[in-house]
Amino acid sequence: MCSGDHGHPFGLPEPVNAERDAMEWLSSSPVSAVKLIEGTADIVLDVGSVFRLEIISESNGYQSWSIHGPEGACYAAHGGRLCKWVE
């Protein structure tokens, strides 16, 4: 499934609800691995043993994703680069 699938029926009993399904899957298993793809700043999260969340940077002009970690550390993808700052 990808974000573009959200809201499409695909012959299912109800349209795909990508946000609900992702939240359910992400909350049911721990993150087992994280990989940052250098050069694109895409990020891959392995969740449990069968689910993978890939966050793909879609713009060079906008912040594609951000993560707020422990102790105020923040990370974001901007223009294919990883940026870090502390709040």
Mean pLDDT over residues 1-16, rounded? 90
Percent above pLDDT 70 for the chain: 99
Domain boundaries, position 27: 3-86
pLDDT band, residue 8 (cuts 50/70/90): very high
Q: Is residue 37 pLDDT above 80, yes or no? A: yes
The three state secondary structure string of 9-61 is CCCCCCCCCHHHHHHHHHHHCCEEEEEEECCCCEEEEEECCCEEEEECCCCCC
According to the model, what pLDDT value does residue 11 have? 93
What contacts 74, CB < 8 A, 6 or more positions away?
66, 67, 68, 84, 85, 86, 87
Q: Is residue 67 pLDDT above 90, yes or no? A: no
According to the model, what pLDDT value does residue 66 have? 81
Tell me 6's DSSP state.
Answer: T
Domain total in the chain? 1
